[in-house]
């Protein structure tokens, strides 16, 4: 099917909406400022409690996490205490561009994070070339493009967890590596822009979708350079680095202008950010200790003594079996922490009938346990400020529908991001201190921003928020091939 119009979509991975607005208002992002003036625009909501892995999967599939089954870099499954890596191919729902490809649309898809490779369609997909948090080596459809890009540009050194020396690390960079990161991000941005321009100029596309990752890395590593309230803020360092986040945003603004010019005045345009950013204040490194203390506080001395003996026997059996006996300390817990982003802590309930050694039966006892745990977490106070440590506790079953809810944590503990969290206290638990690791200074917060312009699109701020799951259906409607079996809805007229 050949559509009567074309759609250019540009994703800005974790570009903070507040910074975009601030710098558009100041005239520092002239392209985005001009685009905003002629667009319908507003808040782009992301699935509550989730960071980039689950959010990008919801964008790509246009369905809820309960249907696509991804919440993090890790996965969960019934019948196991394991938390293995989630591969992009493990998504439980097809991408919206796979459906458009099957309808005969000509597609160019470049570097949408956390999503699988589509094949056998009219067009090009490039995956894991220049992305934050790549799943593996670069690959593509057609296959030869990946090798051509690597031969032409080499490997991206800014974001490769397979090596020990990648620059967008999970910890804060020193000044020398920070300078190197800015230089590399500007280089990768130019490389992707150049390739995107070459493919745009060919003209044989109905949907052109590309994502720039550079905002993601910059705001992770340099939030303290622009935030003078951050504990790591250094005025002299800020002057020397000369606001690297703004520098990256301005370079992306220029790149967007170059792509818009090539797309032409008749194309529909969508530019969006999936998530915002803020100071990386988190209690993620104290959550499991809190859960353990809550369990101890709720047990009799006899129950605690029995559990201690059972754990010791379990460890001894695992040690003596030479690897033939699986060590699963979670079996003795009512609830335990599982891997997630610093945005929110993720909790799995040790549920009877789902976990191998479930402790909490479903039904009334589960409801009472979740309600009590939520109250206990919300009671936690930050001694340094007197404010709550936890902003909210979200229950997955209340947020999402779908056949893959068991692939998600049961609770998300969203942290209060107003101040650093080095300690937590409550009447029930007393005070718990911990050594905060040297984390990247910025991290995700919920919600992004979107701009939509094109023929018959009325400009102006959209007061009603739009979901990130709505982007795919909107593209499909513009192209004349509405999607079925999705949770999102089109925000463009049919």
Listed by start position, the domains of the chain span: 7-280+442-478, 287-433
| CA gap 491, 5 in Å, rounded | 16
What number of other Cβ atoms are within 10 A of residue 266's Cβ?
Answer: 10
Beta strand 7-12 with 207-212: parallel, antiparallel or unpaired? Answer: parallel
pLDDT tens for the chain, 494 residues long, are 555 689 999 999 999 999 999 999 999 999 999 999 999 999 999 999 999 999 999 999 999 999 999 999 999 999 999 899 999 999 999 999 999 999 999 999 999 999 999 998 999 999 999 999 888 889 999 999 999 999 999 988 888 766 666 788 888 888 888 889 999 999 999 999 999 999 999 988 999 999 999 999 999 999 999 988 888 888 887 888 888 999 999 999 999 999 999 999 999 999 999 999 999 999 999 999 999 999 887 777 656 666 667 676 666 666 766 555 566 788 889 999 999 999 999 999 999 999 999 999 999 999 999 999 999 999 999 999 999 999 999 999 999 999 999 999 999 999 999 999 999 999 999 999 887 778 899 999 999 999 999 988 899 988 888 999 999 999 999 999 999 999 999 998 65
User: Phi and psi of 255, rounded to 5°?
Assistant: -60, -40
Q: What is the pLDDT of residue 400?
A: 96
What number of other Cβ atoms are within 10 A of residue 179's Cβ?
Answer: 14
Q: What is the pLDDT of residue 322?
A: 53
Q: What is the pLDDT of residue 210?
A: 98
Non-local (6+) Cβ contacts of 191 within 8 A are 130, 153
DSSP 410: S
**C-alpha angle with apex 490: 487 to 493, nearest 5 degrees?**
155
Is 377 in contact with 341 (CB distance < 8 Å)? no
Residue 208, helix vs strand vs coil: strand
Q: What is the pLDDT of residue 312?
A: 67
Is 131 in contact with 159 (CB distance < 8 Å)? yes
Crossing angle for the helix pair 214-226 and 244-263, to the nearest 10 degrees: 150
Report CA torsion sign: 252, 89, 47, 289: negative
Q: Which residues pair with 415 in a beta bridge?
A: 390
Q: What is the pLDDT of residue 27?
A: 97
| CA gap 343, 201 in Å, rounded | 40
Q: What is the pLDDT of residue 306?
A: 66
User: Phi and psi of 118, rounded to 5°?
Assistant: -90, 150
Is 181 in contact with 214 (CB distance < 8 Å)? no
| CA gap 37, 172 in Å, rounded | 37
**Reported pTM:** 0.94
Is 145 in contact with 126 (CB distance < 8 Å)? yes
How many CA atoms does the CB half-sphere of 390 hold within 13 Å?
Answer: 26
Q: What is the pLDDT of residue 290?
A: 94
Of 70, 199, 64, 219, the closest CA to residue 132 belongs to 219
7-280+442-478 has CATH 1.10.260.40 classification = no
């Amino acid at each position: 099917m050949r559509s009567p119009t074309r759609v250019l979509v540009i994703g800005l991975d974790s570009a903070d909406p507040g910074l975009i607005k601030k710098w558009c208002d100041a005239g520092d992002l002239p392209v985005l400022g001009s685009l905003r003036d002629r667009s319908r625009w507003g808040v782009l909501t992301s699935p509550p409690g989730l960071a980039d892995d689950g959010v990008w999967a919801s964008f790509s599939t246009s369905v809820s996490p309960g249907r696509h089954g991804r919440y993090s870099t890790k996965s969960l499954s019934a019948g196991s205490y394991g938390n293995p890596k989630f591969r992009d191919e493990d998504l439980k729902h097809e991408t919206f561009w796979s459906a458009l490809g099957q309808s005969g649309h000509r597609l160019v898809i470049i570097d949408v994070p956390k999503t699988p490779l589509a094949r056998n369609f009219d067009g090009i997909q490039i995956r894991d070339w220049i992305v934050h948090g790549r799943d593996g080596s670069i690959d593509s459809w057609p296959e030869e493009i990946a090798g051509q890009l690597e031969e032409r540009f080499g490997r991206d050194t800014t974001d490769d967890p397979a090596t020990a020396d990648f620059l967008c690390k999970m910890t804060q960079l020193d000044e020398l590596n920070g300078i190197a990161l800015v230089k590399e991000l500007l280089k990768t941005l130019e490389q992707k822009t150049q390739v995107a321009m070459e493919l745009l100029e060919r003209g044989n596309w109905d949907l052109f979708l590309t994502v720039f990752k550079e905002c993601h890395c910059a705001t992770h590593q340099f939030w303290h350079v622009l935030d003078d309230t951050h504990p790591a803020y250094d005025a002299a360092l800020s002057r020397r680095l000369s606001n690297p986040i703004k520098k990256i945003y301005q370079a992306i603004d220029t790149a967007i202008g170059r792509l818009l010019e090539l797309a032409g005045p008749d194309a529909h345009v969508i530019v969006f950010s999936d998530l915002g950013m803020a100071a990386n204040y988190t209690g993620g490194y104290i959550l499991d200790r809190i859960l353990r203390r809550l369990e101890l506080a709720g047990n009799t001395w006899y129950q605690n003594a029995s559990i201690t003996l059972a754990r010791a026997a379990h460890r001894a059996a695992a040690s003596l079996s030479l690897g033939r006996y699986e060590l699963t300390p979670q079996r003795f817990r009512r609830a335990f922490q599982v891997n997630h982003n610093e945005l929110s802590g993720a909790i799995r309930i040790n549920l009877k009938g789902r976990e191998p050694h479930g402790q909490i039966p479903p039904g009334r006892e589960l409801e009472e346990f979740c309600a009590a745990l939520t109250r206990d977490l919300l009671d936690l106070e930050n001694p340094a400020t007197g404010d709550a440590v936890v902003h909210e506790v979200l229950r997955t079953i209340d947020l999402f529908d779908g056949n893959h809810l068991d692939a998600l944590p049961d609770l998300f503990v969203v942290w209060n991001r107003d101040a650093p969290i080095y300690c937590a206290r409550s009447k029930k638990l007393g005070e718990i201190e911990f050594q905060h690791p040297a984390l990247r200074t910025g991290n995700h917060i919920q919600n992004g921003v979107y701009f939509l312009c094109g023929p018959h699109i009325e400009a102006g701020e959209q007061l009603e928020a739009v979901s990130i799951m709505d982007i795919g259906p909107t593209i499909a409607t513009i192209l004349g091939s509405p999607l079925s079996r999705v949770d999102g809805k089109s925000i463009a007229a049919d």
